[in-house]
Structure 1
Amino acid sequence: MDIAPPISDKARQALGFLTEAETAALESFGAVIPCPQATLVSPGVALGPGVVLWPGVILQIAAGGSIAIGDGTILFPGTRIVATGGEVAIGPNAEIGDEGGFTVKADAEGIVIGRDARLLGGGSLTLRNRIGDGAQIIGSIRCQNCTLGAGGSYRHPIADERGAVLKGAGVAREITLSQGLVIQAFGLFADATVRQQSFFHPHERSPTP
């Protein structure tokens, strides 16, 4: 006699997600999932060893998209990553969704997030975005077609050698920012001043020769 799956699993499967047991089984490949019943993952998502999926994380693939997350990356509660016909590629040791979650939605153009990147505070990436190694988005910022240059992580001791940073709240469209630069804005980032990161962290400047 066949036994019907739990109601929660029926809903998961109807929406294209793994069952609770299948989600928990991802830990056998090295992922860390403290609460599988509160985590939604589509079949085919690639998770590197040590990836942490906190409760409330959604990883959704549709229309032939793909999601690949590098070793040791942490996805905090409220993080939603959707690949609809496009690619989301996240490097190792990134931190996404702390302090309010984060949304990443890729269409055919795709989104790349580098190693040691940090995205927090309820922001989002849509359309085409290239977030370099060590780059940061801090705050409720809607990013569309942005490129943030690679550099050291936020832990790097010299501010102007870190990846590019957007911080504040508002809309960032068609922004290209090089290593060591930062825009702080509350509105349209295209209208704001570009500064060296040492402007905000003067004690973390390069030593004077």
Structure 2
Amino acid sequence: MSEQNLYSDIDTQRRDNGFLSLSETMALTQRGNTVLDPFSTLISVHAKIGRDNVFYPSVTLRADRPEAIVIGNANTFYPMSYLEASGPDTNGSENNYPSIEGGVIEIGSGNQFGPEGGVSIKANSPGTCIKIGDNGRYLSGAMLLGNSTFGDGAQVLGSITVQNCILEAGDPFSGQDPDLRAAVIKGRGLIRGQTIHTGKVAVVGEASSQITLHEQSYFHPKKG
């Protein structure tokens, strides 16, 4: 197989599955984005991408309709970051919801997704919306689901499934006063249907019944 035919076959498979071609993926760099490995980076034709984002290898953005994924500027997506905004199955099953739109993911600017285990963000059930503000961190295997809002500066640190939660906004992790920083969830396990307030850390065990709340200054002394 010639190199030209190889690239053509790769692009055909990408388009058949709703992803940008190799050249379309690299065209994102014209707006200051960095795509370190276009061969392993899959970005939906329906995703709206801002400027100056960095995409490491093995990043996937999957969406099934225009602007189901909207990304701002200067975010970093480390390897194994997976975003999916999709609707219900429309193959004739009894679970069809033909009149209800699928999920939406909205991401602001200056966030870090990964590394160390990647991050999964899935708005893949009818009417769900995951909103992520600016300057947050989502690391080490975090999974974000359902109707969830992560305010400016919020952090999810660890192999935690966060479903239908609100993390209130505040200063980013570098802020001088830890009790003014945005809400944080850390640990391992599941947290569902919770609101974590500014300046608080929710420490999650193996089950949601084991959530413990602390002031952030419990873990981090004030700076200055």
**1:79 CA drift (Å):** 0.3
Output aligned runs, 1:167-206, within 5 Å: 167-201=186-220, 203-204=221-222
**1:141 CA drift (Å):** 0.3
Partner-residue secondary structure (3-state), 1:11: helix
Partner of 1:89: 106
Q: Which runs of 5 or more residues in structure 2 are unaligned? A: 87-101
8 A contact 2:46–2:66 mirrored in 1: no
Partner of 1:58: 60
Does residue 98 (structure 1) correspond to residue 98 (structure 2)? The answer is no
Runs of 4+ in 1 over 6 A off after TM superposition: none
**1:158 CA drift (Å):** 1.0
What is the aligned counterpart of 2:162 among 131, 140, 143? 143
**1:88 CA drift (Å):** 0.7
Q: Which runs of 5 or more residues in structure 1 are unaligned? A: none
Partner of 1:115: 134
8 A contact 1:73–1:94 mirrored in 2: yes
Partner-residue secondary structure (3-state), 2:29: helix
Q: Distance in 2 between matches of 1:37 and 1:24?
A: 10
Identity, % of aligned pairs?
Answer: 35
What RMSD in Å do the two structures reach over aligned CA positions?
1.7
Q: Residue type of the partner of 1:69?
A: I
**1:29 CA drift (Å):** 2.1
Q: Distance in 2 between matches of 1:192 and 1:74?
A: 29
> Aligned residue pairs: how many?
203
Partner of 1:134: 153
Q: Distance in 2 between matches of 1:147 and 1:28?
A: 35
Partner of 1:25: 27
Partner-residue secondary structure (3-state), 2:61: strand
Partner of 1:164: 183
TM-score for the superposition, normalised by structure 1: 0.91
